[in-house]
Structures are given as C-alpha cells and as structure tokens.
Amino acid sequence: MLCAWLGTVTGWKGRPKTAISTQIWPFYLDTWFPKPVWTWRALLPLAALGPLLYALRRWLRAATLVNLLLLATAAYAVHFTCGIVRHGFDLGLQFTFIRAQEYWNDIYRVNAGFLARFPEVGGPLSQHGATHPPGLILLLAGVNALGAHSRAAAEIVCSLAAPLTALPLYGAARRLASGGEGEETARWTVPLFLLACSVTAFAILAMDLVIMLLAATALYGLARALDGERLGGALWGLALGCASLCNFLALTLALSHGVLILARLPTLDRRRWLALAAGPFAFLLFYALLVFGFGYRPFHVLDASWQQLLRSDDVQRNRLVSLLGSPIAFLGALGLPLMGLAARAIGGAFVRLARRQDLQTVALVLAAVLPPAVSIALGKPRGEVEHVYLLFVPLLVLAAVSAARRWYPRPPAWISFAVAALVVQSTAIEVLCNTFW
C-alpha cells in the first residue's frame, strides 16, 4: 500500500500511467490502485474478527474436523465481508465477471466439440480465455449448468475454494512437517493461510483461488504418496493435471514436488515408489482421456496461449523491473506477519543448507520458493503476481510456519495477534486500495 501510495503522489508510474502497464515503477502491488473509500461496510470484517478468534481458540485447543470447518467458515466470513467493502453486495460479488477480459464471457462457447476446437471455438475468446487453457471456462460452464446462472452466484461458488483449501493443506502439513511437529505445524499453518492478505483480498475476486485449491490437493496427494498410499499418488497426479488444465503455470509445481521427493529419498522403499509412480500415471491418463476422448490438443493450446500472451499487455512491463517488483509484491501481499515469517525462513534455509543442518525443513522451504523463483526469473508473468501466484501460497505458508517452529519459536499467543493483524491489514487494504481483480 505504501509503495502504491508513493507512486500516486509522485506520479512515478511510467507510460501508460496505470499499475498494470507500468514501465519504470520498481516497487508495486500491481493490481492494487490507491483509491480510498469510506463506508460503514469496512466495519464488517472487523466485526467478523470476534467469531474468528473464538473459532481459532477452539482450533488451537483441539484440531478436530468440526473445529476445522468452524475456523474455515469464520475465515470465509472475513473473506466475504472484505470482498463487499468497496462495491457493496451486488456489484462486489460480480465485479470480476463483468469485465470484458474474464472467463465468464466465454462460457456460452462451451459445447460438445469445445475441447477439440479450443482455442478456435468459432469466435474470439476473452483475453484470459485466450491466454490460458480451457479449465476455468469449463468450470464456470459447469457451475452455470448446475444452477449458478448469475455472475454473483457463480462468484460465491468459486470463492468457496479459499476456505476449502484449508482441508488438504491441513492434511499435507501434518505429513510433511519435520521433527515430529506435524500436528502443531498444521494447527498454525491453517489459520495463517486462511487469513493471508492475498487470499482474503482475492477470495471474492480471482479465479486463481480454484487453482490454489487444486495445488493444495496435489500437495496432499503427494504427502500421502510419500507415506506409501497409492490412492494418494493417484490424487496427486489427477489434481496436478486439473490445475494445469486451468493454468500452465501449475506445471512448475512439479519442481516443488521433485524437491520434496528428493528430500525423502533415503526413506523410499518399494511400497512408496509404487505409490509415487501412481502420480505420473494418473497425470498422463488424465491427459490421454482429454486427447483421445475429447480431441483436446494440449501442445497446440500451449503454443496458442503463448502467442496470445506475447500480444497481451504483459509484454509492456519491464522485465528487469519485474525481477525486483514481483518478489516484493508476492511476499508483501501475504501480510506483514506472514511476510516476516517467509523472509526469515528463506534466509534461514540458505544458512542451514550451507551448514547441512535440518535438511528436511530446508527442503520444505526450498520446495516452496523454487516455483515462484523460476517463474519470476522467466518473466512469466511480469506482474499481477499477487493473485497469479496464489497457487504457491499454501506450500509457502506451510514452509514458513514449519521453519518458524523449528528455528524461531514463538509463544502460543503470537498466532492470535498475527491473525488479528492480518484481518486489520486486509480491511485497510480494501478501504485504501481498489483491488479490482
């Protein structure tokens, strides 16, 4: 917010003078325009903080399914109320889908031959539809067919992906955290993830939350496969396939998964190798079904999407600036408490890697950092990473919490203050900035 405000008062935003097409602006939260609005609706997220802290207290005392659902529901109340602060209930719940470049405008093109002809579907697609694979268009068409005919109803259905992500993330955290601290790490990871400012800011605005849910599900499946469960391996491959059908960026998650597998290499026996083999098999089977059953052409879609991306406004952004701005935007959008945890975990991981200490936790941190780092280095995309990189947030929060519990212990009361701070910061963001996505 500070960087965005400074850009407004100084006029230092390059040409064209918009946040999404910046040429020289070095520090940016790319989709947040400084535009304060004062409304009584800003009190709603703060009112939701009371029930949230009650649910958090129950969750920290007993990590049961009921308490997990209660915590996710309370967090969703914060997401929902933040989502309607600026534009109100009606416009706030359809603000994303009324824009010309959104997937919603493509759902009427879905028919029996949609996958076989994509992206040449009889007419021009929206900007997002043309620069991405067809998964999110199919999802919205399915949601529409099931009865969510209005934009607001479809947005509400898709926004449930944020609280639902807590379920696979909890399961993954219990299995992946090192040092016998899986349960305690999972208890801290879930609330901090649910209230991360980027998750809250875009829960009612961005379809990227759906990909985030699939990414967390793939992580959970991998964690189960590492424990020797073949169904976990199948879930890993299927979820990764579905995520990549929504955004090719999801394929970079394979880097995270590879690091986690290498870290467990000494413990892998025949049963675990067979479970892990089920992942690639399920992934290839998923795409084989799309190709031979529906005529889908994944390599053609990849090439067409890449060509459309090269003609989009993304190429107007300075690549060198994005190397600096994107990490700041991605980590800064998490909120101050999580940004501090993540930055300290990344620094501590490299120190301990050099010393060959606690390599299990180091691997978890490196696995979380590698996909966004590679994506930023490649310059795809060069901005808007606050929502585009949401699929990387679950593992990053898990790694940051795991590192904090192992290397920088905090008192139990810290998490309540952190959650409250994240809610207050999210509310301030909605009041001060137009998170228009």
**pLDDT tens across 139-171, in order?**
999 988 888 888 888 888 888 999 999 999 999
As a whole number, the mean pLDDT across the chain is 85
Closest Cα partner for 251 from 220, 291, 280, 227? 280
100 pLDDT band (50/70/90 cuts)?
A: low
Exposed, middle or buried by CB within 10 Å (0-12, 13-18, 19+), for 20? middle
pLDDT value at residue 34: 65
Model confidence at 31, pLDDT cuts 50, 70, 90, reads low
Share of the chain above pLDDT 90, in %: 51
Taking the C-alpha atoms of residue 129 and residue 363, their distance in angstroms, rounded to an integer, is 35
pLDDT score at 329: 82
- DSSP tag of 227: T
- Lowest average pLDDT, out of 75-79, 379-383, 424-428, goes to 379-383
In order of 24, 136, 141, 248, 337, the CA distances from 133 in angstroms are: 31, 8, 14, 7, 35
Q: Which residues fall within 8 angstroms of residue 137, CB to CB, at 6 or more apart?
A: 103, 106, 107, 109, 110, 129
Own/partner pairs, 285-289, CB within 8 angstroms, 24+ separation: 285/237, 286/237, 286/238, 286/241, 286/242, 287/241
Q: What is the pLDDT of residue 246?
A: 94
DSSP for residue 293: I
- Whole-angstrom Cα distance, residue 241 to residue 170? 21
Most confident of 120-129, 198-207, 394-403, 412-421: 394-403
Q: Rounded to an integer, what distance in angstroms lies between the CA atom of residue 432 and that of residue 12?
A: 19
Residue 17 has pLDDT above 70, yes or no: no
Compare 394 and 119 and report the one with higher pLDDT: 394
List the alpha helices (DSSP H) in 62-132. Answer: 65-83, 88-92, 114-117, 127-130
At residue 211, does pLDDT exceed 80? Answer: yes
Residue 25 has pLDDT above 50, yes or no: no
